[in-house]
Amino acid sequence: MNIDGVKTGIVLDHIKAGKSMDIYKYLKLDKIDNTVAIIKNASSSKYGKKDIIKIDQLIELDLDILGYIDSNITVNIVKDGKLAEKKHLELPETLENVIKCKNPRCITSVEQEIVHTFKLVDREKKVYRCAYCDAEHKNK
């Protein structure tokens, strides 16, 4: 299969196979007015299989969301057909309104306007804790 390159835009590469639709949803890529190509289960010498997302436009990306979903993603910024910048992601220290607390007694379950805030407590195990009730959330 042949998918054209991006002249000016963003290429999200090295996405864990099967995670591209989560990224599409979290980044609200259905709301942009340009071409978005999702390549699922592409061959990868490093990972076996991977997903790739190509966005035919330069947009603001929430790197915290991307880092949370898969910290191995590479964000390639392309301008005039050339790689202008390459960003490598990490797990974010703080997440706001990305995940929701599952504790029914948490203030965020009662008060709808409160920002769902989680702090990274264990980078290796990808464990976050709610800033309000200390409930644990593991990123799979």
Q: What is the pLDDT of residues 86-99, one digit of tens each?
A: 999 999 999 999 89
For the chain, the first-to-last Cα distance in angstroms comes to 30
Write down all domains in the chain, each with its CATH number in brackets: 9-88 (3.30.70.140), 94-138 (2.30.30.20)
Q: How many CB atoms lie within 10 A of CB 54?
A: 20
Order of strands, sheet of 136-138, starting from the edge strand that comes earlier in the sequence: 94-96, 117-122, 127-130, 136-138
Q: How confident is the model at residue 110 (pLDDT cuts 50, 70, 90)?
A: confident
pTM for the predicted model, two decimal places: 0.83
Q: How confident is the model at residue 2 (pLDDT cuts 50, 70, 90)?
A: low
d(CA 39, CA 4): 12
Q: How many CB atoms lie within 10 A of CB 49?
A: 12
d(CA 4, CA 15): 19
3-state secondary structure of 125: coil
- The percentage of the chain sitting over the pLDDT mark of 90, rounded to a whole number, equals 66
d(CA 52, CA 45): 14
